[in-house]
Amino acid sequence: MNLRRDVFQAIADPTRRAILLLLASQSLTAGAIAANFDTARPTVSKHLQILTECELLKQEQTGREIYYHLNPSKMKEIADFIEPFRQMWDDRFNKLESIMKNYQSKK
Amino acid sequence: MERKTKINAEEGRQDLLITREFDLPLELLFRAYVEPEIVEQWMGTKVLKLENKVHGGWRFETSDPQGNVVLRTHGVIHEFVPEQKITRTFQMENTPYPAQLEFLVFEKLTDETSKLTMQMIFKSPADREEILKLPFSGGINMAHNRLEKVVRQLI
């Protein structure tokens, strides 16, 4: 129960979400991840530690380097996967509707 | 809140269907898909290219709040019939995800309302699941806005 809560807290942080996005397509070392952010390196390390502790990330030793990659099975647990997708489109379409209503009234 | 956007994703299939009815005349709904400055507003993305014609290409770019580019998407337009349909491909650049095929059908319901039906076809049922299982699926930019709201509801 506690762990589950931690997962949701982990992804509530914008930097941690950005890290997850970054790792969606590739595995990277801590240094390479930190290079993508203006935040201080120890802060990024802290984020990586949190994401690893709640199993959203996994570490893999390759030679002397440790690579971080997404743990897909944990990501799956985050939410009903259709619902966020639907909400994303619903949001976009709501926006489309309100923008075009402006165009309509300007006519 | 009423759920105006519906998604039909049947088990074991490699496609899904998104439907939505709009309180907008068909003409305005279609304009929202072809005018780059309007697309940018509701998709929350930058339009690098949008050639609304058969054999035309499109390319969008999404950034995080700090201005870092997080995703580029592109595709080719196969069919373009104003106020009726757009058929196009969709690919996320620099990701392992295969191209998708999208059939967009625009319909007039009344003088003031219209309907959009969007069928997305994935390479395989597994590819569909793979893309949908990511919490930031489809547009990835939702990770920065929607995910937060979804997560707040769950905590």
Q: In whole angstroms, what is the distance from residue B138 CA to residue B82 CA?
A: 25
- Is the Cβ pair B70, A21 closer than 8 Å? yes
Find which of A3, A22, A89 to mutate to test the B interface (most B CBs within 10 Å of its CB).
Answer: A89
Question: What pLDDT was estimated at residue A25?
Answer: 78
Backbone angles phi, psi at A8, to 5 degrees: -70, -35
The token pair at B109 is 């319901």
Question: What pLDDT was estimated at residue B64?
Answer: 78
Q: Which of the four pLDDT bands, split at 50, 70 and 90, describes residue A79?
A: very low
Q: In whole angstroms, what is the distance from residue B70 CA to residue B147 CA?
A: 16
Which pLDDT tens digit goes with each residue over B57-90?
999 998 877 888 888 999 999 999 999 999 999 9
Q: In whole angstroms, what is the distance from residue B127 CA to residue B105 CA?
A: 23
Residue B139 is part of a domain; what is its CATH number?
3.30.530.20
More confident residue, B33 or B3: B33
Residues 6+ apart with CB under 8 A from B1: none
Residues 6+ apart with CB under 8 A from B21: B4, B109, B113, B114, B115
The token pair at A8 is 């949701």
Q: In whole angstroms, what is the distance from residue B150 CA to residue A8 CA?
A: 10
Q: How far is the first Cα of chain B from the last one, in angstroms, to the nearest whole number? A: 20
Q: Is the pLDDT of residue A102 over 80?
A: yes
pTM above threshold 0.80: no
Q: Residue B42's Cα: distance from chain center in Å?
A: 11
Which pLDDT tens digit goes with each residue over B84-111?
999 999 999 988 889 999 999 999 999 9
Which pLDDT tens digit goes with each residue over B10-39?
767 899 999 999 999 999 999 999 999 999
- Is the Cβ pair A12, B152 closer than 8 Å? yes
Hey, which residues does B81 pair with through a beta bridge?
B85
Sorted by where each starts, the structural domains of chain A and their CATH numbers stand as 2-78 (1.10.10.10)
More confident residue, B12 or A101: A101
B77 lies in which domain range?
5-154
Domain count, chain B: 1
| 3 state DSSP class of A65 | strand
Which pLDDT tens digit goes with each residue over A2-48?
444 456 567 667 788 888 888 877 899 999 999 999 888 999 999 99
How many A-B residue pairs are in contact by the CB < 8 A criterion? Answer: 139
* Residues of chain A contacting residue B9, judged by C-beta atoms under 8 Å apart: 82
SS3 of chain B: CCCCEEEECCCCCCEEEEEEEECCCHHHHHHHHHCHHHHHHHHCCEEEEECCCCCCEEEEEEECCCCCEEEEEEEEEEEEECCCEEEEEEEECCCCCCCEEEEEEEEECCCCCEEEEEEEECCCHHHHHHHHHCCCCCCCHHHHCHHHHHHHHHC
Residues 6+ apart with CB under 8 A from A30: A44, A45, A48, A66, A68
* Residues of chain B contacting residue A54, judged by C-beta atoms under 8 Å apart: none
Strands B85-92 and B69-81: antiparallel
